[in-house]
Amino acid sequence: EEKTKLLRRLGRIRGQVEAIQRALEEDAGSRPLLQQATACRGALDGFIAEVIEDHIRERMVQEKDHARATEAAEELIGIVHSYLT
């Protein structure tokens, strides 16, 4: 279920990237490019948020072993840090 949802999101993102490419190839101008790029960025941010949420649920919330939960938290901190910087 989660995998299917993520794959659908990626399909939409792929379509948005292709629209950006078409707009660039057709010399559509900067406004349509920026609109498409902004929409694509929003979709990608949503995808990343879903993956982070899944990671939290799978590796932290459901983890009974404190050491493993701590390891998962550190892993998530690294992921979020690299995403934000």
Domain ranges of the chain: 2-84
On whether the pTM is more than 0.85, the answer is no
CATH 1.20.58.1000 for domain 2-84:
yes
Alpha carbons 58 and 60: distance in angstroms, whole number: 6
- In this predicted structure, the answer to whether residue 64 has a pLDDT above a threshold of 80 is no
Is 47:13 a contact under the CB 8 Å cutoff?
yes
pLDDT given at position 18? 96
CA distances from 36 to 32, 44, 46, 52 (A): 6, 12, 15, 24
pLDDT single digits (tens) 32-44: 999 999 999 999 9
Alpha carbons 1 and 67: distance in angstroms, whole number: 29
Report percent pLDDT > 90 for the chain: 53
